[in-house]
A and B are shown apart, each in its own frame.
Chain A
Amino acid sequence: MKYELQYRLYSERAILIEWPAEIDEGILEDVLNFKNKILKSKGKVIIEVTSAYNSLLVFYAKAIENVYDEVLMLKELYFSGLKCKSNKKKIWYLPVCYSVEIAQDLRDFSEQKSLTIDAVIDLHTKPIYKVFFIGFLPGFLYLGGLDKKLFLDRKKTPSAHIQKGAVAIGGSQTGIYPTDSPGGWHAIGACPLDFFNPKTPECCYISPGDAIKFISIKENQYNDIKSKVENKIFHPEFKIL
């Protein structure tokens, strides 16, 4: 499906392309497809394309000389039949320990939502989440598919310290902190895996378009997997979709 896209000059070196403002898997497919086309055909003059839910921010090596020509070129490219190799989509099974001992905000979160902790775990592990993009911090996955019953506004005052691996909820979004960081989301679980390694050719093994299923684990399993991850002998399970 093709959408009515908005193109605008963002800076002397960037053009912003926008889809309708929705979190939608059809839009995601189209965003990623267009991103691949741009990188394939214009990889030399366009040095970075940042994708998000409903947008591509296209960044040029040099100042754009003629914006109208450039937008025209992008429009033609959008409708062109250029075929790009896209990676096979995967579903990842990620272990998460939902324990008040490890997850700093789990108790608080369940009280604010008037849910039992078991209900929170049920609601959070049931959906299959979609990875829309990686942003905010290196390796931070933006996931779509959170159950409405778990929506909770970000904290008014962000926490100074959210731990690496924290599985958190902010508004209608859920994600995993890949490193220690300040943040305004509620940490309801802990995942023992690494999500970003700049020393591997693919810094992140999970890509936009992939799916995620969280598997609830006990604290001893969490500690066990964590030490295996540190020794690089644990690899998360996945299936090709």
Chain B
Amino acid sequence: MIGKVKVLTSGFLTTIQDEGRFGFSKYGVPKSGAMDQLSYHYANLLLNNDPNAACIEWVLQPPTLQFFESCTIVLSGAIIDAFLNDKKIEMYRCVHVHKNDVLKFNFCKKRMYGYIGIKGGFLSKEILTSRSYYKTVTDKFLIVRGDEINYPKTSHENNSLAQIVPPSFNETYRLKCYKGPEFGKLTIEQQKRIINSSFTVSNTSNRMAIQLEERVLNDLDSILTSGVLPGTVQLTPSGKLIVLMRDCQTTGGYPRVLQLTEDSINKIAQKRMGENVLFDLI
């Protein structure tokens, strides 16, 4: 049996995401997938879902949703006040939803990306082995008002009410990283500048990349275009650093000075404009 959730308000840049789309860089297709994979995985873990089950990802302002069949949901990621039929519900625990229930949120208080997980996962169309929205690959690239998204209808008896203490988000600004392939081409002064000082998240920040404010003296030539990954930190001709994120292109020509660990990619994803980060070499 299939249930449907109706989107009453869309929120801001709301999408469907899973672990991502792997094996298609040969066509230039990005990996995509949840920006904060750790929070996303918590939702599926609590629901005892397949780790790759699709969740709704929202940014700063979540959508308002009405569920047409019973189901069980989990909220994870960015910190928010959530209400089911105007009754406050907790994050990081399974919540039973009944037919016609409405899920509403206040504006997000802390962090950036939040997840709405559902027992069995959302059943949007799978393209190239993934449900993650990406323009030109999936038909839809944003959830908009009036959309109806399928999910498997589940009875509450079989769904546990698992919960965990919300992971204390270590508000560290230290990001662990590897030296990038072109790190060695920087002078010692440039290396020190990048490793020893803090950088500010700019307002140019989205699912493709996060640009940092401060400039680094850059006299490196561009490189012969080569592979990049989410978490690759590029030094652009203007001297600004760009941290590539989940929807980043598959190849790039700017020097790759650092590479963030998976854990640090999840952390920087949750940083807002004006927050600081510091790169720590492993």
Contact = CB atoms under 8 A, between A and B. Distances in A.
Nearest to A137: B28
Contacts of A196: 27-28, 136
B188 interface: no
A140 interface: yes
Interface in B113-146: 127-128, 135-138
A53 B229 CA distance: 17
B29 interface: yes
A195 B25 CA distance: 15
A201 to B, nearest CB: 10
Interface residues of B, number: 33
Interface stretch (A6-14, A73-81, A211-219, A226-234): A6-14
Nearest to B227: A57
Contact of A55 (B30, B135, B226, B260): B226
B158 interface: no
Nearest to A12: B261
Contact of B224 (A8, A51, A54): A54
Interface in B23-69: 23-31
B218 interface: no
B250 A136 contact: yes
A203 B29 contact: yes
Given A11-B178, A53-B224, A56-B227, A134 B28 contact: yes
A23 B223 CA distance: 12
Contacts of B225: 52-53, 135, 142, 173
Q: Give the contact-size bracket for chain A.
A: 35 or more
B181 A50 contact: no
Nearest to B22: A47
B262 interface: yes
Contacts of B138: 198
A13 B262 contact: yes
Contacts of B22: 47-48, 59
Interface of B: 22-31, 127-128, 135-138, 178, 181, 223-229, 231, 249-251, 259-262
